Amino acid sequence: MQPNLQINPQRLWDSLMDTARFGGTEKGGIRRLTLSDEDRQVRDWFRKACEAIGCTVSIDDCGNMFARRPGRNNDLPPIAMGSHLDTQPTGGKFDGVLGVLGALEAMRTLHDLGYETNAPIEIINWTNEEGSRFAPAMLASGVFVGAFSRDFAYSREDRDGKAFEAELERIGYRGAEPVGQRKLGAFFELHIEQGPILEDEAKMIGVVTGVQGVRWYEVTVTGQDAHTGATPMRLRKNALVGAARMIEKIDAIGHHFAPDAVATVGLVEVKPNSRNVVPGEVFFTIDLRHPDDAILDKMEAAMRAALPEVMNPLKLTFEEKRIWSNPAVRFAPELIECVREGARQAGYSMREMVSGAGHDAAYIARVAPTTMIFVPCAGGLSHNEAESTSFDECAAGAQVLLNAVIAHDRTLG
Ligand code: HGY
Ligand code: MN
Ligand code: MN
């Protein structure tokens, strides 16, 4: 019979609210960009909390943090659980954070009860999951599995020209351990759904079976700066008009391949961005996603066909490059079953689903059996300062995480 280890919901909630002050915003969200001073503060807090329960904390040379609790047989690769502590510029209190602090709560419970696992257990905080400051997303977990080289990650620059490597050094989290050297026996990631399905169906737990495919692109449109007063409409090369028409086309591609497709332009930079200059250059990003890679190919082809159709008549030139592509991922059936067992044991309703958002688990699945657990968020809202997951929903996620980890660990003994 599975031991009945009960997490402490209040302690979890207090940790979530306490760490929300690192980058906390007036609207109740969090701005904690990766490798910022706020990220350093929450990392310091996390390391102290893990060491306070006897974990040893290691850091690799991409800043990934590993808090380890020994088990009965430390020759076994660890069962890991975790997520990320960095946020979007207008992020919420729960995206990523619930996965790391829910894992901490599970570890605190094991410590309090003196429960000895077969395998060692580790909590992981992955660097730069969001990809907002340094694109692409899931950068450090991607390096961990060999999807990117460490030097590629080090070279990535934010929009102010600051490099990942320099910022990692600056906050003091460039560890000695070579990234990817550490072996994992399994990885469980607790996360808010970031969509409306669980709330809509009044289900508490999402049993996540995989993650949809994602592709990111960068486009630079070039026209000609000109005087807004003295330049006739027929003689202009207005890069912003070209970008605007492409934004419409990309939205139409999303709708064409809906309901499973999504297509978004989220970042636009206009140069010189002056009210009386016809914009001569526009930089924008494209985010395409779908559970089926063959459909993603069609969406990509449609986007690439639209570019010259839009730009040529406007006498504009353009550069487009794909900077990221992660195919659809399927998680490990044996770990998915542990999540189902964990939810049943705790008495929570559940439903299977594929993740719309990307997560570090999408990469870790390449090197270890991996799965995810979702809990609802109000209105499905995320990447928004109003992001909200309740006390009970956070507790449910952490309890199922602990139950699932123990269920898997018992298969090793
Ligand atoms: O982009 C994503 O899906 C993740 O939130 N970084
Ligand atoms: Mn996340
Ligand atoms: Mn996110």
pLDDT in tens, the chain (413 residues): 566 799 999 999 999 999 999 999 999 999 999 999 999 999 999 999 999 999 999 999 999 999 999 999 999 999 999 999 999 999 999 999 999 999 999 999 999 999 999 999 999 999 999 999 999 999 999 999 999 999 999 999 999 999 999 999 999 999 999 999 999 999 999 999 999 999 999 999 999 999 999 999 999 999 999 999 999 999 999 999 999 999 999 999 999 999 999 999 999 999 999 999 999 999 999 999 999 999 999 999 999 999 999 999 999 999 999 999 999 999 999 999 999 999 999 999 999 999 999 999 999 999 999 999 999 999 999 999 999 999 999 999 999 999 999 999 999 98
Alpha-helical segments (H) within 114-231: 139-144, 150-155, 164-170, 197-200
Atom of ligand 1 nearest to the CA of 359: 4
Tell me how far the alpha carbon of residue 95 lies from the centroid of ligand 1, in angstroms.
10
Ramachandran category for residue 180: left, alpha or beta (phi over 0 → left; psi -120 to 50 → alpha)? left
| C-beta neighbour count of 381 within 10 angstroms | 17
- Ligand 1 pocket, residue 130 CB under 6 Å: yes
Residue type present at position 265: V
CB neighbours (10 Å) of residue 51? 12
Tell which residue, 376, 399, 346, 393, has the closest CA to residue 8. Answer: 399
What residue ranges define each of the domains in the chain, with the CATH number in brackets? 9-212+328-410 (3.40.630.10), 213-326 (3.30.70.360)
- By most ligand atoms within 8 Å of CB, the mutation choice from 129, 192, 212, 382 for ligand 1 is 129
Give the Cα separation of 37 and 173 in Å (integer): 11
**322 alpha-carbon distance from chain centroid:** 19
129 contacts 97 by C-beta, under 8 angstroms: no
d(CA 251, CA 303): 10
Alpha carbons 159 and 345: distance in angstroms, whole number: 47
- 43 contacts: CB under 8 Å, gap ≥ 6: 63, 65, 85, 125, 171, 173
Decide whether any atom of ligand 1 lies within 6 Å of the 137 Cβ. yes
Query: What angle do the packed helices 37-51 and 97-113 form, to 10 degrees?
Result: 20
* Ligand 1 lined by 192 (C-beta under 6 Å): no
Displacement of CA 4 from its chain's centroid (Å)? 31
**Ligand 1 pocket, 213 CB below 6 A?**
no
pLDDT confidence of residue 1: 59
- How far CA 21 is from CA of 9, 32, 38, 83, in Å, comes to 19, 10, 9, 19
pLDDT for res 2: 62
Distance CA(231)–CA(124), nearest Å, equals 57
